[in-house]
Amino acid sequence: MTTNAIVSRVTWLEARRDLLAAEKDLTRRGDRVAELRRKLPWVHVEKPYVFEGPNGGITLADLFAGRSQLLVQHFMLGPGWTEGCKSCSYMADHADGMTPHLAQRGVTFVAVSRAPYVEIERFHRRMGWRFNWVSSNANSFNHDFRVSFTPEEIATGKIDYNFGGSPHRNDELPGVSAFVKDEAGEVFHTYSTYGRGVEVMMGAYRMLDLTSKGRAEEGLSHTMQWVRHHDRYELDTPSQTASCCSGQQ
């Protein structure tokens, strides 16, 4: 049974114009925030990170693939996991369609996980994704960018996640980071977002937000409880990995 009022087209148009004004205000405020984001200072990346990819070792600078900007999805797939995080996979399902468009603006997209590359490749192949995905298992990249945490950090009851103390007790958490490379080949960290900020990759959420029922997550134990790996929706079986990047603020 509907909970919304049933009205004439004329009345609906009046309500829709009111909503349009709010939407335009949100768009303008979003533009202002984007401008502030672009004005953030940069941090020189001094560590010589080397990742493992399909052709062996590859540096952070080489991940740019000849372009001047790099977007990294910090994908939750830890060593020994049988499959990647469901919510990170939901994010990654949107990536292949974006990569050619990002490339036209000088931006390369890559996913990074702490699992060894052989474990990444197994899941990568299962999901059918084409974007580049490398392993940070042999370096401190995940820890330095505050998406992987040691048992000692977790034992304190408050980890340094999302630019502050977080009560999470996960050893892996999601994020998206941006980097730029100058003409001399030096790499700089320009931006990172965590928690609900990673919804920037969740285009399906934006489409659901247009519908009358929205995300329909009320009453769930956590906001993304309904999400499955895209090859598991018909089976509807529980994931073998822990609940991960849901309900972040």
Q: What pLDDT digit, counting tens, does each position of 102-122 carry?
A: 999 999 999 999 999 999 999
Predicted confidence at residue 248, as pLDDT, reads 45
Residue 15 has pLDDT above 70, yes or no: yes
pLDDT band at 3 (very low <50, low <70, confident <90, very high): confident
CA 240 to CA 249: how far, in whole Å?
25
- The hierarchical CATH code for the domain 43-208 is 3.40.30.10
What integer pLDDT is reported at residue 2 of this predicted model? 62
Question: Model confidence at 247, in pLDDT bands (50, 70, 90)?
Answer: very low
